[in-house]
Structure 1
Amino acid sequence: MKLVSIVTVNFNQPAVTEALLKSLQEVNTYKAIEIIVVDNGSTENYVPAWKLKYPDVVFLRSDTNEGFAGGNNIGIRQAKGDYLFLINNDTEVTATLIEQLMVSLDNNQRIGIISPKIHYFDQPGMLQYAGYTHMNYYLARNHCIGQFEEDKGQYDDRTGKTGYAHGAAMMLRKDVIEKAGLMAENYFLYYEELDWCERVKKAGYEIHTNLQALIYHKESVSVGKRSALKEFFMNRNRILFIRKNTSAVTFFIFCCYFLLAVIPRNLLAYIKNGEYNFIPVFLKAITWHFFNKSDSSNLGYPIKR
């Protein structure tokens, strides 16, 4: 049996992470697994206690918060498996999830990354993800297929090639990472999996879904529904993604659209909703690009590390 390294990242959510570990140990039926938990600069160091409670799990501790990409990269570097399955700590698996994704990868060597169907954990039967449409690079917009719909199997025939994988659950072979590289850590939060998919495509692979495989996702456990942190990185990284993955001409057109449509719309929405504290955060997300290169490690936002 081929070894699957399951990598997940914890940040101040020990109970959520332990629920995932229970799911992997009790629900999952594929046993040739290596579970790697990266504690990503949590306020309290949970690793010593976890090592006693879960002796079969590999625990790694970063004393600083390295973000979604950085935390996962720590685990990837230590992974021994032929396959790597990156899953959010706020997910719970289904019995045959891992085996089904592995079969897809085994049967099609062109697949670079594959994601399963995702349901909302608190509303089983409601879709969060059944694939992504391709990106409109002029607008930096794409669509998550099926989101908020009742799952009646209406998208199951779409199993196969898709625009992007979903960061909550991504499986890939180790050789794909060797060719495409690790995730870009200067995104810190949001868009890093889309950027990674772009680099995997450039390395000659495709992005797929297997909609017979299912995982449950507890959306936004770590960040929350709305926050200044989320507002900053969603906007900064939207621009960063286009800067890094399109031509100068396309980026110029996108900037015109952002200036004429997105900035006025967002500012009016903040004022209408009384979210005045988001205005300087939004403007800071934009002006970051005037002073930083696209590969800059300067995050532009104060992160508790």
Structure 2
Amino acid sequence: MYTDGMPMISVIIINWNGINHLEKCLSSVEAQTYKNYEIIFVDNNSKDNSIQYVKDNYPNIKIIKLDDNYGFCKANNIGIKSSNGQFIALLNNDTEVDKDWLLELVKPIKREKNIKFVASRMMLFKDRGKIDNIGVDYTISGSVIERGRFQKLSNEHIVEKETLIACAGAALYNKDFFDEIGWFDEDFFYSYEDIDLSLRAYLYGGKGAYAPRSIVYHKLSATRKNSPLNTYYSQRNNEFVWLLNTPTSLLLLLSPFRLIYFIGSMLYFTRQGEVKAFLKAKIDVLRNLNRIVIKRKKVQSNKVLSAREYLRLMKKGFFLNKIKKLFLKLS
């Protein structure tokens, strides 16, 4: 597990018909200055010769070929369970990483025991002076905000800090973390699964960090074009995250903000011509309420974070201070 005091890291890359991205991604991972790692390539039954390409050009990479497209969540769970590392680094296939990506990514999680995951500094692939995200915030309405999105990189962005959520497109996790809080929820398939996992980590007493010198260049939306399918999964899974993780006392208190977010989202997707996908997502949430309630009971029964502490973690927004004061009076 260790070489010269360096813990073993398993880098897991999920692929589905992504052969055009693989040379940049895999070559950059193989060029890491951090040497004690393995690469696990999990293929979701690609039809574009991806597996043969990896076999021919990257013989040291472990390949797991799946018999169907199981999505991001199940494919990662399979890769994690077959890994040898003490730490798990997840990486999108439409990326190129800096040579010190792993070296810098592992530093916060080695230094502080309570850190369960670490976010990379994700930059845009084509415009490398601009940010994709440097962690993610969660708001009182249940929406997410990508930190730094499309901003030019400045000194304020290269400071190590805590982050509530790490984008699983380039993040590090303690492998024991998955045994402690559970795996990626495979009902999500893809989208918002990393939001769910990060919030669950905080509910169970962990926290996340942002490693500003762990740099990844990301082809934003290269593997997920805007489509009714993406609208469906994002809007369905957004409800899953809210219903599974929000403490009971906050569900009612924050419901007005949730309603405003729902109306605004419906209007947006109506203008985009995707209101059918939006409504189908919400209807399917109602159809799955029994299953959600069962999973919610497990999540909430194991949490150690109070509702008050959870609220403090949420991104400041309209009337947030008043909501906090009201909650403190009621609790």
Tell me the TM-score range normalised by the shorter chain. 0.7 to 0.9
Q: Are 1:149 and 2:145 an aligned pair?
A: no
Query: SS in structure 2 opposite 1:73?
Result: helix
CA positional deviation for 1:268? 3.8
- TM-score (ref. length: structure 1): 0.87
How does 1:254-265 map onto structure 2 within 5 Å?
257-259=257-259, 261-265=260-264
Q: Secondary structure at 1:240's aligned position in 2? A: helix
Q: Retained in 2: the 8 A contact 1:244–1:294?
A: no
**Cα contact 1:240–1:294 (8 A) shared by 2:** no
Q: Deviations over 1:190-210 (max 9, x none)?
A: 110011112222332111101
* Structure 1: 5+ residue stretches without partners: 297-305
Which of 8, 13, 24 is matched with 1:8 structurally? 13
Change (3 A) 1:46 1:156: closer
Where 1:6 maps in the other structure, the secondary structure is strand
SS of the aligned residue for 1:143 comes to strand
8 Å contact kept, 2:130–2:151: yes
Residues 97 and 46 of structure 1, relative CA distance in 2, 3 Å threshold: closer
Partners of 1:3 and 1:263 in 2: CA distance: 44
**Which residues of 2 match residues 35-184 of structure 1 at below 5 A?**
35-44=39-48, 46-133=50-137, 135-137=138-140, 139-157=141-159, 159-184=160-185
In 2, the alpha carbon distance for the partners of 1:262 and 1:110 equals: 33
Q: Residue by residue, what CA displacement relative to the aligned partner does 1:200-246 show, whole Å, maximum 9, x if unpaired?
A: 2233211110112211111111111x111111111111111111001
CA distance in structure 1 between the partners assigned to 2:111 and 2:258 by the alignment: 42
Residue 244 of structure 1 corresponds to 244
User: Alpha-carbon deviation of 1:256?
Assistant: 5.2
Per-residue deviation, residues 35-77 of structure 1 (Å, max 9, x unmatched): 0010012234532453243210000011111111111111101
Name 2:300's counterpart in structure 1.
none
Q: Shift of the alpha carbon at 1:156?
A: 2.2
Q: Which runs of 5+ in 2 are unaligned?
A: 293-331
Deviation at 1:84, TM superposition (A): 1.0
TM-score relative to the length of structure 2:
0.80
Superimposed CA distance per residue, residues 142-182 of structure 1 (whole angstroms, 9 cap, x where no aligned partner): 4222111110222223x121111112111122222221221
**Residue of structure 2 aligned with 1:284, choices 271, 280, 300:** 280
Q: Secondary structure at the match of 1:161?
A: strand
- Identical-residue share of aligned pairs (%): 26
Whose helix proportion is higher, 1 or 2? 2
Distance 1:62 1:85, change over 3 A: same
Report the secondary structure of 1:230's partner residue.
Answer: helix
Residue type matched to 1:163 in 2? L
Mapped to 1, the partners of 2:43 and 2:54 lie a distance apart of 10
